[in-house]
Structure 1
């Protein structure tokens, strides 16, 4: 944006058009899109546009853009993290019988154990 603005102003200076610093700062502020309204209003209300250096305005715009970009990135990352589905957890059934053997398992418990082993093998292979 700054490069484009400078190119336009330099082109007009080629036609012997003279600009004061206040005119350049005012034109640059008007050149900003609506996303920059808060910064534009802040500068217009707190600074004297006629004496505000154009280079300082450039620096302010760049810093605002960098800070605004970082804020948008953080917001975007936090929204993406919130959209992640909850991780599935696998739990084993606990038994109180310390001396029981695997031969006493019901068919349903055995099927659950086989399914768990298959899931664990798939998990390890994906790592």
Structure 2
């Protein structure tokens, strides 16, 4: 900060003469050091904002207003972060490390704005944010520890160890399910192969029976054809015989086809 000349003036017989006191020199030295530290820590863009400031206090106040805003902006940011803190929950598929990083981002933002929580409250908030599958572990932690004296690092370490055990158990159970599924698939395939073999055997039997039936039918058709052919021949013979029987026979020459009055032998005689 700037100091007036009255802080370091001395009265003499010749009038007022301004002279630095030891206290003023210390204050000026500290102010210059603070300005130097701020200027070294800032980027070029931020340095341009505060380069016209004459004291470290003025530089710091300008930076505070730039990044924190006015009191109204600060209260709005606090309200937003408090809402995020109160609604904080562990997301599906999120690990303990990822969840803790999100939680620390919120609490650090609140601490930067002047809003802090006690350690016990933060530990209870983390335990309440865990899903229902973590209920046995949460109960164990609450019964075995004093949450007011417990540190966040100890809590997160315990939760990470439990997470590793859960992953290991999940892998073993999934491996067991996979083996059971493979065994069931093998049994199904063996049953299907047995069914195929039996089906092939039945198909072979059906083919054999159908071929045998076709042979029997062919034989029957052949024999029936022969019988029909023989019957036809016999019928023709019978018809010839019947036709011969129906013709008249000559009593003179004993030949069919004419009667005795028409016999050629009698005509010749």
Q: Which category describes the TM-score, using the shorter chain as reference length?
A: 0.5 to 0.7
Q: 1:103-122 alignment to 2 at 5 Å?
A: none
Q: Secondary structure at the match of 2:170?
A: helix
- Alignment of 1:77 with 2:77, yes or no, is no
The answer to whether the aligner puts 1:46 opposite 2:144 as a matched pair is yes
Give, in angstroms, the shift of residue 86 of structure 1. 2.5
**2:107/2:116 contact within 8 Å kept:** no
Distance 1:73 1:26 in 2: 30
Matched, 1:60 2:60: no
- Aligned-partner Cα distance in 1 for 2:123–2:114: 19
Which of 168, 186, 207 is matched with 1:86 structurally?
186
Higher relative contact order (CA 8 A, sep 6+): 1
| Distance (whole Å) between structure 2 residues aligned to residue 55 and residue 18 of structure 1 | 18
SS for the counterpart of 1:86 is helix
- Give the whole-Å Cα distance in 2 for the aligned partners of 1:10 and 1:79: 44
Q: Does 1:7 align with 2:105?
A: yes
Q: C-alpha displacement at 1:36, in angstroms? A: 1.1
Tell me, yes or no, if structure 1 residue 29 matches structure 2 residue 127: yes
State how far apart, in whole Å, the 1-side matches of 2:136 and 2:121 are. Answer: 20
3-state SS, counterpart of residue 146 of structure 2:
coil
CA-CA distance at 1:16 after TM superposition: 0.6
- Name the TM-score, length of structure 2 as normaliser: 0.32
43-52 or 15-24: bigger deviation: 15-24
Extract structure 1 runs of 4+ deviating beyond 4 A. none
- Larger helix share, 1 or 2: 2
Q: Which runs of 5+ in 1 are unaligned?
A: 89-107, 109-127
Residue correspondences, number: 90
Structure 2 residue runs of 5 or longer lacking an equivalent are: 1-98, 191-200, 202-269
TM-score scaled by length of structure 1:
0.65
After TM superposition, give the deviation of residue 49 of structure 1 in Å: 0.6
